Amino acid sequence: MRGGWERRLGPIVQAAPGARVDRFEIYFDLVYVFSFFIIARATAADLSGRGLLHAVLLLAVLWWCWVIHSLVANRIRMGEGVVPMVMVVAIVALYAFALASPQAFRDPVEGISGPFLIAWSYLVIRLVHLGVYWYSIRHDRREVGQIRPYFFELIGSVALLFAAALVPALLGDPQVGALVREAIWVALVVGQYLIPLVTGTRGWVVTSAEHWTERYDLILMIALGESLISIGVGSDVVGRPITWSTLMAATLGIIGVSCLWWAHFDLIAPAARLALHGTHGDARTRMVRDAYHDLYLIMLVGIVLFALGGEELLHQVSGGIALGEPMHGPGMALLYGGVACYLVGSLLFQFRTLHTVSWTRVGVVLVLAAGTPLAVRMPVLAALALITATQVAMVAVEAFLFADSRHALRAAVMEERRAHEAYETNWRRPRTNEPPPRGATD
């Protein structure tokens, strides 16, 4: 018999094999993307090798949190019963994590210690996820035993975060302390990403392939949208006169983001979705672990790098640098490196899920790698023209070469969508007295 709170608020509801993403999950994802935005802002203020290292470490730890969250959300309906009320605690902790991110590697001068706030926030986020998940499976000893390694991982991760907050201050030498803190964070990230390789897919249950692919596609799409916001807000163009140079640079940046969207979502993402639906059991969980857990992080890092480069580009162009001059600093290298990183992640994802390789993309990555040393010395307009032309050429060539495959894939996806919509309509009609569509016959 359920307790009083479950009767009043509703039980924890298990997800079904055909479950989709609900609105509460999207709300949660927006807080994650806010964290990405804050990390990008902090990195833009320190465009150095060390600043980029800190950003990658923060993103990796945040992504691990999100992967754990997606595993829970794939098993439990996040928008039902008491779960949304409990998850608000995790949202508050996640927001605190985001606010503390710029001070994650600094000893406090005043106010709350950033490293300690990161550690406490992380602990709360993970406890909420594991607590909800454990409660939903508490009567199944086998499943409880399977998630036991992640309790130990949580203990180790939290211990390292608190060590990163405490140990550097005890060493006396700020430079040595900073190196020790970075080493602890590297150990944390390596340990977290080795866990699934050591334990295999033990404890990973993918109830709904549809939910899984939709959730990861949405977070990547939101991150692409956030990159546009980051470029616009961070470049400080608001309030400045709009010049033709600024407008041209912004236009080419938007074309670049659109090409990144096309590179993954036009063909690869829907084909991978069908491939995941076609796998079952341990093969499915291994694909989820390798492709979505690891390789989406590479694409996410590429988006952040591209956003940092685009922000620096607009900042300098709107600040008066001529398009005939080279950019100052690493902005152009970040633009090129971001696109290359994203495409490498997409290529590896394609190979893991579809067992194919798009040689056009391999060529683009090689062109960008070879062109980066030249681009940092080239005039802004020439460097932008090169990277934009390369991306647009990739889209055009693939659209022509893969036309038959694209049409076949689109037809399969549309057939599935229409069948699903027809089923929903037929199920709903006797319950809502909805009239049949015009021209339809029974």
pLDDT at 302 over 90: yes
Over 90: is that where the pLDDT of 147 sits? no
First to last CA, the chain: 45
Q: Is the model's pLDDT at 203 over the cut of 70?
A: no
DSSP string, 47-96: -SHHHHHHHHHHHHHHHHHHHHHHHHHHHB-TTSTTHHHHHHHHHHHHHH
Q: DSSP assignment, residue 355? A: S
The most distant pair of C-alpha atoms in the chain lies apart, rounded to whole Å, by 81
What pLDDT is attached to residue 202? 67
Domain ranges in the chain are: 14-207, 208-426
Give the confidence band of 316 by pLDDT, cuts at 50, 70, 90. confident
Task: Determine the residue type at 301.
Answer: V
Distance (Å, rounded) from C-alpha 296 to C-alpha 140? 32
Contact between residue 78 and residue 25 where contact means Cβ atoms under 8 Å apart? yes
* Residue count (the chain): 442
pLDDT of residue 1: 41
CA 219-396-323 angle, 5° bins: 80
Contact 336, 387 (CB under 8 A): yes
Mean pLDDT across 297-304: 92
Which residue would you say has higher pLDDT here, 251 or 345?
345
Average pLDDT over residues 169-196: 87
Query: Taken in order 221, 263, 370, 344, is the CA torsion positive or negative?
Result: positive
DSSP 110-174: SSS-HHHHHHHHHHHHHHHHHHHHHHHHTT-HHHHHHTHHHHHHHHHHHHHHHHHHHHHHHHS-H
Task: Supply the mean pLDDT for the chain.
Answer: 84
Amino acid at 222: I
Rounded Cα distance between 199 and 292, Å, is 17
Least confident stretch, 9-23, 48-62, 145-159:
9-23
Average pLDDT estimate for 106-132 = 88
**pLDDT one-digit tens code per residue, 355-379:** 999 999 999 999 999 999 998 898 9
For residue 156, give every residue at least 6 positions away whose Cβ sits within 8 Å of its Cβ, in sequence order, or none.
191
Task: Give the C-alpha distances (Å, rounded to integers) separating 111 from 51, 99, 107, 115, 116.
Answer: 22, 13, 11, 12, 12
Q: Give the torsion through C-alpha atoms of 389, 390, 395, 401, to 10 deg.
A: 120
Residue 260 in tokens = 């990144």
Tens digits of residue pLDDT in 346-360: 999 999 999 999 999
Structure tokens at 160: 């390292």
Cα–Cα distance for residue pair 24/77, rounded to 1 Å: 10
> Does the reported pTM lie above 0.85?
yes
- Between CA 110 and CA 278 the distance in angstroms is 55
H helices of 241-379, where?
244-265, 268-277, 281-287, 296-318, 331-354, 359-375
Cβ(43)–Cβ(51) under 8 Å?
A: yes
The whole-number pLDDT of residue 2 equals 52
Q: Give the Cα separation of 361 and 174 in Å (integer).
A: 44
- The tokens describing 288, both together, are 């989820």
Beta carbons of 47 and 55 less than 8 angstroms apart: no
* Of residues 388, 320, 54, the one with CA closest to residue 328: 320
Q: Which of 300, 297, 291, 265 is nearest to 349 (CA)?
A: 291
pLDDT at site 272: 92
Q: So what's the pLDDT on residue 235?
A: 54
pLDDT of residue 4: 56
For residues 268-294, give the mean pLDDT: 89
Distance CA 427, CA 424 (A): 5
**pLDDT tens readout for residues 245-263:** 777 878 888 888 899 999 9
Nearest CA-CA partner of 158 in 193, 197, 116, 107: 116
CB atoms within 10 A of CB 194: 11
Give the integer Cα–Cα distance in Å for 109 and 97: 18
pLDDT at residue 153 tops 60: yes
Query: Is it the case that residue 116 has pLDDT exceeding 90?
Result: yes
The mean per-residue pLDDT over the stretch 33-52 comes to 84
- 234 by Cβ neighbours in 10 Å (0-12 / 13-18 / 19+) ranks as buried
Calculate what percentage of the chain has a pLDDT beyond 70: 91
Which DSSP symbol is given to 200? T
SS (H, E, C) 357-386: CCHHHHHHHHHHHHHHHHHCCCCHHHHHHH
Tokens of 78: 């996040």
